Amino acid sequence: MRISKHWILALTMTILPLLVAFNSGTVAAQEGPISAINNPNPGAELWQAVRGRLDTPATTQVKGHDSAVLVNQQGDQWTAVRNKELLPKGGDLLIVVLLIIGAVYAMRGPVTLHAGASGKEIDRHSVNARFVHWFLAGIFIALALSGLILLFGRPLLIPLFGKAAFGTLAYGAKNVHNFVGPLFPVAIFLLFFNMVSKNLYEKGDLKWFAQGGGMFGKSHASAGKFNPGEKILFWLTIFLGIVVSVTGYVLDFPAIASWIVATFPEFTQYRHVMELSHVIHTIIAVLFIALVFGHIFLAVFFVPGTLQGMVTGKVDENWAKEHHDRWYAEMKGSAKGDA
């Protein structure tokens, strides 16, 4: 009997606090979240300000570009576009272009001269023209290689050479790109003035397209000094060259981006200008590289005898007759163009 009294007392002492706690919890649950959670997070507004989500723009006494921007939201979007869109799609495009070139070469083979080489040569490209071309080509190749290392290096080269070696390579590529880049518009300028007169529309150019440039079948496509395909290469080089140069200068010299922000208020941060420039730069650069793949293939492998003209300045007369008959006729002083 005595024992059971003790048990009842012990049981009451245990259950009572539990009941009280449970009861107050239920009441609190009925009234809303418990008081600690109910308190607004004192840091919430701070973090909204840090992320730039408040209506009132952040202010700071620190002087410098975007110093009031602590977290650049758009930067995340830009990183995603670069890594998830530009990188895989750029890589796919270059691979597809190389496959098409390989397939065309395998199906059609090199365009050899019907009459064979004549052994007689004719002047094709002046020293100036060759200098301008190789100046442009040298700069382009340096920029394309260094740019491709920067773009695809991480996924492609780190597994091959390791991080340390890639770090050194990427550092070199970045410096080559940053310092050689500013010369590119000079090359574009020289190319334009050196070759524009030979790259304007001439009668007969449309017919050349209709004949597929003489690439398929046996029909010969009549052409002047440069055929319409080359003229397209010329004009694309000028236009794509201007776009990569302008966007490249913005990336190389951030002062240009701050000038754009000061002039065009719709750009709120100079980093937005740089992100936009980077995306345009990379898209155009990859298209440009694909175009040049095609050009090098045609000049070196597909139409034998063409490269020689850009190296020595002279081409075989039969090459001139078969590929650029109107120009050959002009050179030989015939107005008819039926040489």
- Binding region for ligand HEM (CB under 6 A): 82, 124, 133, 136-137, 140, 143-144, 147-148, 150-151, 174, 177-178, 181-182, 184, 191, 195, 199, 226, 230-231, 233-234, 237, 244-245, 248-249, 251-252, 281-282, 285, 288-289, 292, 295-296, 299-300, 306-307, 309-310
Closest CB to ligand HEM among residues 306, 318: 306
Which residue's CB is nearer to ligand HEM, number 177 or number 321?
A: 177
Q: How far is the CB of 133 from ligand HEM (least distance, A)?
A: 5
Nearer CB in complex with ligand HEM: 216/239: 239
**How far, in Å, CA of 195 to CA of 235, rounded?**
10
Which token pair is 192? 């334009």
Task: Kindly compute the dihedral angle of the four CA atoms of residues 291, 296, 298, 303, in this order, to the nearest 10 degrees.
Answer: 170
Looking at the Cβ atoms of 100 and 299, the one nearer to ligand HEM is 299
Q: State the nearest-atom distance from the C-beta of 223 to ligand HEM, in Å.
A: 9
Counting Cα atoms < 13 Å in the Cβ hemisphere of 128 gives: 6
Do residues 225 and 196 lie in contact, with contact meaning Cβ atoms separated by under 8 Å? no
Q: Minimum distance between the CB of residue 99 and ligand HEM, rounded to whole angstroms?
A: 20
Residue closer to ligand HEM, measured from CB, 234 or 302: 234
Q: Write down the least CB distance from residue 215 to ligand HEM, Å.
A: 15
Min separation Cβ 24 and ligand HEM, Å? 59
Q: Which is nearer to ligand HEM, 191 or 257 (CB)?
A: 191
Q: How far is the CB of 214 from ligand HEM (least distance, A)?
A: 14
Could you tell me if 58 and 69 are in contact, meaning their C-beta atoms sit under 8 angstroms apart?
yes
Helix 228-252 / helix 254-263 crossing angle, nearest 10 deg: 90
Q: What is the dihedral of CA 226, 227, 229, 230, to 10 degrees?
A: -10
- Using the CB atoms, write b or e for 116-129: b if 16+ within 10 Å: eeeeebbebbeeeb
Give me the residue whose beta carbon is nearest to ligand HEM.
248
> Kind and range of the H or E element at 14?
helix 2-31
